[in-house]
Every structure is written in C-alpha cells, then in structure tokens.
Amino acid sequence: MSESTGIVLTVGGITAANEVLFAPLAGNGTPWQNFNWRIIPATGILALALAGVDQISPTVGKGIAVIALVTVLFTRLGNAPAPAENFAKVLGYQK
C-alpha cells in the first residue's frame, strides 16, 4: 500500500461520515436521506490514481493526498455543508 492510500481513504471516510452523521447531527436533513453514493467509487479511483503517482514520486502523491484532506475538511463537497461548518454548528459556535 502506498503512502497516499491511507490519507485518501480517510478523505473518503470523512466525506461519507459528514453526509451520513455530521450533517444530520447539525440539523441538515436526516441520515441516509441524500447520501451521495458516488463518494465510494470516487475514493477508490483517487486511491488508485495516487498509488500510480506514488510510483513516480512519493512526495507528490502524498502531497496531493494531504491537499485533498485539507480541502475536504473546509469546503462544501457533496450534499452537505463542510465538516468544519457542521462541527461549529454542533458545538454552538455557529447558528
């Protein structure tokens, strides 16, 4: 397994958990209501692509994976608000 694969699987897991758990907890819909099933194959395709990039340059592959991780934490992807927004709403920092 390449260095970027674990990070990419974390990105997919965070995105899926955000849509299924965190968004409903923050009051944005109900669990499984509008789950974006394309997250699962997209995560697999990204993991395979970055495993190929890792064969050429491990630093670049890991760097792209870390950029994807930071992006998924702070931007709206899919059908739910960003995980950072949901956490802020659950903790009471945002209305």
Report which DSSP code applies to 9: H
**Rounded to whole angstroms, how far apart are CA atoms 10 and 93?**
25
Minimum mean pLDDT range among 21-25, 57-61, 65-69: 21-25
Torsion of CA 37, 66, 50, 8, to 10 degrees: -30
User: Longest Cα pair distance anywhere in the chain, in angstroms?
Assistant: 46
Report which DSSP code applies to 33: S
Using CA atoms, how far residue 1 sits from 10, 39, 49, in Å, is 14, 21, 13
pLDDT at 90: 83
Query: Which of residues 77 and 5 earns the better pLDDT score?
Result: 5
Q: What is the CA radius of gyration of the chain?
A: 14
Band of residue 24 on the pLDDT scale cut at 50, 70, 90: confident
Which range of residues forms the domain containing residue 75? Answer: 3-91
CA 51, 53, 55, 59 torsion: positive or negative? negative
Q: What is the pLDDT of residues 28-48, one digit of tens each?
A: 767 777 788 899 999 999 999
Q: What is the pLDDT of residues 64-93, one digit of tens each?
A: 999 999 999 999 887 788 889 888 888 888
Domain count within the chain: 1
pLDDT at 64: 96
Per-residue tokens: 82:
């960003």
Q: Report the predicted TM-score, pTM, of the whole model to 2 decimal places.
A: 0.84
